[in-house]
Structure 1
Amino acid sequence: MDVERIQKVNNLALDLMKQGLAQDREEAVEKAEEVFKERDTEDYANIRQTMEKDQPETRVEEQQKNGDDLSPEMIKEILEKNTKFIIKTFREFQEKIVEMEREISYMKNRMLNSSPKVKEVVSNVNTQSGQEQQPAQQSAQENSADNHPRSGNYKENDVSIEKFFYMGNK
């Protein structure tokens, strides 16, 4: 069924329901399809006759083409071409795989050779910073032991009382 025919059937079914000729939707659709079947049978018969006339001509042409195309020599040539193409494609893929494996091994070697240099630089930086941090930590510990805020060794001027108590808008 094509879209136009379905639309026509639906429109006719709605008209039949509005006029009271059908009691429900299904009955209206059935009646509408019957009306269109009567009209379409004539068109269908004409189309079928023209198709039957055209088909014998195409069948004869297809048989002639099939007979010419399937000679044993042609089949051998086609198979040889396909085999050569497949072999060529496999070789190209094999070469690409070998090339990629070389690149991967080169990258791995490069990573292995460059990584000790990075580790050496990091270890040198750590030893230098470790030596600088030790004296700084010792002096910080001495200063913090002398003047710690929890010990109560601070003056009124060091901390404002307004920071402890909030009295509202200023």
Structure 2
Amino acid sequence: MKSTTRGTLAALLTGVAAAVGATATPAAAVETVPVPVPLQGVENSLGVELPTLAGEIPLPTPGAPEGPQYVEGRLIPERVIPQLPVSGGLPGADLRAPLPRLLGDDFDHVGVGTEAADLRTLAPGLTLDAPLTAPGADNYGMPEPKLPQVGVLTPLLQTVPAANVVTGPGL
């Protein structure tokens, strides 16, 4: 095998491995920090079975804002103050509580669980236009007066929260 063929094959395999590795992670994964709530000491001291409680706190990550967009016929670009995207998540929780002898002789449980959900936001932005038009040939290259324009770009909030309620044997 020639060295150029080996180099081409190595570059191809490296590209395929990078593409497979990039698609292996879920696109909607939320980076969270688990927060366990230790209740074992209270259970041991009181001699009672207590609920188990755990949570997840998402880590917000700011994104890069879209810069101003230049539009023909305007002196000031659109989105003078751009919207800042921030992605993170809603916190998740898991609660399991015992139900003694409700459904049988053993301890049964009821559980409520909410998973950390993706949350995408955009901060409000501002767009405005000057009180002059762009210079035109009709007025010998001079701009004409016009009414100024100001607009507020509305904030955006997108998420899909979900919860599960379950019952079953044991805690």
TM-score normalised over the length of structure 1 = 0.20
- Write 1 or 2 for the structure with the bigger share of strand: 2
Larger Rg: 1
Greater relative contact order (CA < 8 Å, ≥ 6 in sequence): 2
- Write 1 or 2 for the structure with the bigger share of helix: 1
TM-score normalised over the length of structure 2 = 0.20
